[in-house]
Amino acid sequence: MADVEECVFCKVARGKIPAYILHKDEHVLAFHDINPQAPVHVLIVPIKHITDLEAIGAEDADIVARMFQAARKVAQELRFESNGYRLVINNGRPAGQIVPHLHLHVLSGRSFGWPPG
């Protein structure tokens, strides 16, 4: 359980680290990224400590669905839904994952290039 004790997003979920929280329920948490890469940059994280996509179990299917539903809810509530937005999961260090707790980046408010950097 040491991972959970030290995990920055678990600490946010438990209120031990302050964050600008947009949505919280028993399954998922949405809050503004501390280092935004776009005018809107929200993180959606499961309350359960799941390190990455490989750690998602069959029993977590509902949580994963709820992460996407939370992204949509944030897009509606912050009124950027009709402007388009990008969802990103950096899975693993080579892909840019720094925090080993599964999270969905929700980015909006500017144009996005493709391929991504």
Burial degree of 117 (CB within 10 A; 0-12, 13-18, 19+): exposed
Question: Considering only 51-59, 65-73, 74-82, 95-103, which stretch makes contact with ligand AMP by CB under 6 A?
Answer: 95-103
Nearer to ligand AMP, 20 or 82 (CB): 20
Q: In one letter, which amino acid is 66? A: R
DSSP string, 5-32: HH-HHHHHHTTSS---EEEE-SSEEEEE
Binding map of ligand AMP across residues 59-88, x = CB under 6 A, - = no contact: ------------------------------
Binding map of ligand AMP across residues 11-50, x = CB under 6 A, - = no contact: -x----x-x-------------xxx-------x-------
Taking the complex as a whole, how short is the minimal distance between the CB of residue 103 and ligand AMP, in angstroms?
Answer: 6
Angle at 24 between CA 41 and CA 78, to 5 degrees: 40
Pairing of strands 86-88, 28-32: unpaired
Which of 22, 19, 39 has its CA nearest to residue 84?
Answer: 39
Q: Does 96 bind ligand AMP (CB under 6 A)?
A: yes
Q: Does 99 bind ligand AMP (CB under 6 A)?
A: yes
Query: Is-catalytic flag, 103?
Result: yes
Active-site residue list: 103
